[in-house]
Structure 1
Amino acid sequence: MSTQTPPAVRAYLSRVRTALADLPTAEVDEIVEDVRPHLLEIAEGLGEAATVESMTEQLGTPESYAAEVRATGDYPPAPTEDTATTEDTGPATAPARLAVWSLVLGAFALGLVGFALGSDLDDGVLFGLLVIVPVIGAGAWFVWAQGTSPVAQLPEIKALRDTLRTKAGPALRQLRLMAPAWWVLCAVVLALVALLLVVKSRHAIIGLPLFVAMAALALWAGPRTESDRRLLWASVPVSVFVLAVGAGLVTYLAGSIDRPSDDYPYNYTANTSYDGEPALNYGDEELDNLYVFDAEGKPLTDVYLYTADGRPLTVPRYGCEESTETRVTTGRDNKFPRPRIQQGGYDDQGNYNGYNAYRPDCAESDKVPFTAAIPD
């Protein structure tokens, strides 16, 4: 240390460093350098009477001072003798590991459900929560009863925490500053999704209590997670769910923009018939006949249809089989109009006459079933 540091401050800092010995050395050095000016100020105020004892009267013991630094700096609590003997292996770590994995796997599953929900707005996927919520709840119950100390002492958690602090420290500090706005955004997104589900299907109203509960968790548990790490088992799943739902909604909206409207009245599409052959469609309706009229409204016969590149617009032709009096496919061509197939019980205009009306089960008619009004 610097020779300009008074002995009392050096001794006090030495005990602070010992109390923080479980943290990474680089972080301990950073903490010591951060608190040194404050301790020098205290020692300067005490003058020649500056000793560890006099500084303790004003600041508390170096150990309690180190504990305050842990609390304000979001560092894990100092390990006790009990945790120090069981932190590496053994049955005592199994419940803590299960609690961690319940959070990790539960959040991952919630992400899948959230993305599926947002991308299709199908409330049926919410039934998956009947399995996911109890899994997360079991881990939450453990940390609520035992605290986060058993989890914090797991070697993998220590390694993850150290990595995040050394590699992503600035980003984490920025996220903490944005946290209040994030929790409000979570509640807004959840309310929006609930509204979209109800608009799409009235049955989705039974899922409203779930979204209300999640929004309440976001607004209540989210801001308190910084001071109570047990609430991670509520805030992390909600955050993952909202992020996944948001990503799914973006996918849903992008698909809606690219998808052609089914209500467009002049939407001819290429499709296949029930037998796998090319067919002519108008919207969702498969066409097997077309009627063509001249400018005076007179129907034309023997009209042949072609595409813009000269290909014949060939579709199935139907007729009646005499032996069975049923409709059958008689070939394929591009000649229109075709004989209209009439089924038993219907007249030439397609009106139902009842089963008592005499008509073969299948009959062909060349009559046009309507009159065309040609616009001027």
Structure 2
Amino acid sequence: MSTPNPPAVRAYLARVRTALADLPAAEVDEIVEDVRPHLLEIAEGLGDRATIEAMTEQLGSPESYAAEVRAAGDYPPPPAEGTEGAEKPTGSRRAGARLALWVLVLGVGALALVGFAVGREFDAELLGMLVLIVPALAAAGWYVWSRGTGPVAELPEVRRVRSGASRRAGSLAVHLRTMAPAWWVLCAVLMGLSALLLVIRSSTAILVLPLFVGIAALALWAGPRSRTDRRLLWASVPVSVFVFAVGSGMVGYLADSLEDSTSESPYQYTSNTAYDGEPGLYYGDEELENLYVFDADGKPLRDVYLYTEDGRPLTVPRYGCEESTQSRITQGRDNRFPRPHIEQGGYDDEGNYNGYNAYRPSCTESDEVPFTAAIPK
């Protein structure tokens, strides 16, 4: 663009000025100068299609744009506000508005915790906590929907927060508006992906599939509309926070899964390995080659198969004797216990025991248990 202010930008700004005409002229000039660079950026992106209609399609009408800047900068409302916020709230309405506000704040915090836990653990049972959160948010949202956001905006705590924010936050808010459509689509996609991964991990998670579909639909419907209808913030804000929390938890879950897959064998039960690099069975720092199992009467059990708590076989090396060399060798891996007791050694020419360095090596296998067990009663 060769001109600093294209016609579409000038026309858009003129309507913004008109919508803010009740404010002091100096403040209106400050607002216009704050938002002008953003409008020029939008117009430059549109190129030859830069018309006020095209800008309205991306940013909303100049009047709604001005209303958002007004709200973000804590400027007083226009003289005629229609049905929303036109009358001062009574004591009962103020109590209801305060309850709706704090239900939103606390509900959003609880959703953040639940969403992160669901994404981190991929446990569908954690979603049961939504039974307490969602109805409260729905009731607060219904209150605001039927009475408007005016009573909430007039609450002292809301006015203090808004007055503490910089008026230039209005330009940031309108910048974020251009990202909103993509964000709501991303919310729906993340909910679908989360539901799919939950169902893959646990078939019972299919019971919560309608919940995720409902959240995705709510994001697509309420999200874009909440920029002009503030009553829908009681739907769009919880959805945004929940989706962001689930996504953050998923990042941690996938990072841990990637680390586990690259650092451990899929059949490794501890960080210790046997001499051949395969998983070993350890008690503290001591590698175990055999296990003996007894019943309540102290009788040893034969052919016992050991499994972990999630059904994986506890496979460790099995040793035996090589007949030709009379040496101990590995005969594979399995989870059947007890194994034969291996006795290996030899004697020199004088008949003295010489252990593993024997001149005449020997290796024998015995199925006898080399000890007796006293089972506590």
Q: TM-score, normalised by structure 1?
A: 0.58
Q: Distance in 1 between matches of 2:92 and 2:364?
A: 82
- Structure 1 residue 148 displacement after superposition: 0.6
Aligned-residue RMSD, C-alpha:
4.3
Change (3 A) 1:230 1:290: same
Q: Distance in 2 between matches of 1:253 and 1:32?
A: 46
Residue 123 of structure 1: aligned partner: 124
Pairing 1:153–2:154 present: yes
Pairing 1:262–2:256 present: no
Change (3 A) 1:250 1:296: farther
Change (3 A) 1:125 1:145: same
C-alpha deviations, 1:154-184, integer Å up to 9, x for none? 1222233344452534432221110000000
Kept after mapping to 2: 8 A contact 1:183/1:218: yes
Q: Distance in 1 between matches of 2:224 and 2:281?
A: 55
2:288 match: secondary structure: strand
Give 1 or 2 for the bigger CA radius of gyration: 1
Residue 288 of structure 2: aligned partner: 280
Change (3 A) 1:244 1:34: closer
Q: Distance in 2 between matches of 1:287 and 1:16?
A: 76
Q: Distance in 1 between matches of 2:155 and 2:142?
A: 18
Q: Distance in 2 between matches of 1:248 and 1:336?
A: 55
Q: Distance in 1 between matches of 2:209 and 2:266?
A: 30
Q: Distance in 2 between matches of 1:336 and 1:163?
A: 85
1:268 match: secondary structure: coil
Residue 308 of structure 1: aligned partner: none
C-alpha deviations, 1:291-324, integer Å up to 9, x for none? 24348475644459xxxxxxxxxxxxxxxxxxxx
Q: Distance in 2 between matches of 1:281 and 1:174?
A: 66
Which deviates more, 251-260 or 233-242? 251-260
Pairing 1:251–2:252 present: yes
What residue identity is the alignment partner of 1:280?
A: L
Q: Once the two structures are aligned, what percentage of the paired residues are identical?
A: 46
Change (3 A) 1:247 1:269: farther
Pairing 1:291–2:319 present: yes
Which deviates more, 213-222 or 71-80? 71-80
Change (3 A) 1:84 1:119: same
What residue identity is the alignment partner of 2:267?
A: D
Change (3 A) 1:20 1:211: same
Q: TM-score, normalised by structure 2?
A: 0.58
Residue 67 of structure 2: aligned partner: 73
What residue identity is the alignment partner of 2:176?
A: L
Kept after mapping to 2: 8 A contact 1:291/1:336: no
Residue 183 of structure 2: aligned partner: 182
Kept after mapping to 2: 8 A contact 1:268/1:281: no
Residue 101 of structure 1: aligned partner: 102
Change (3 A) 1:31 1:256: closer
Change (3 A) 1:269 1:120: farther
1:106 match: secondary structure: helix
Kept after mapping to 1: 8 A contact 2:226/2:236: yes
Kept after mapping to 1: 8 A contact 2:64/2:228: no
Q: Distance in 2 between matches of 1:225 and 1:231?
A: 5
Change (3 A) 1:291 1:119: same
Q: Distance in 1 between matches of 2:365 and 2:173?
A: 72
Change (3 A) 1:294 1:34: closer
Kept after mapping to 1: 8 A contact 2:289/2:317: no
Q: 5+ residue gaps in structure 2?
A: 1-16, 36-61, 72-76, 270-276, 291-306, 329-341, 346-362
Residue 297 of structure 2: aligned partner: none
Q: Distance in 2 between matches of 1:294 and 1:106?
A: 69
Kept after mapping to 1: 8 A contact 2:218/2:235: yes
What residue identity is the alignment partner of 1:268?
A: P
Q: Distance in 2 between matches of 1:202 and 1:169?
A: 47
Q: Distance in 2 between matches of 1:281 and 1:235?
A: 59
C-alpha deviations, 1:63-112, integer Å up to 9, x for none? xxxxx85774323544789979956x955421111111111111111111
Q: Distance in 2 between matches of 1:140 and 1:97?
A: 12
Q: Select the structure with the greater relative contact order (CA < 8 A; seq sep ≥ 6).
A: 2
Kept after mapping to 1: 8 A contact 2:289/2:318: no
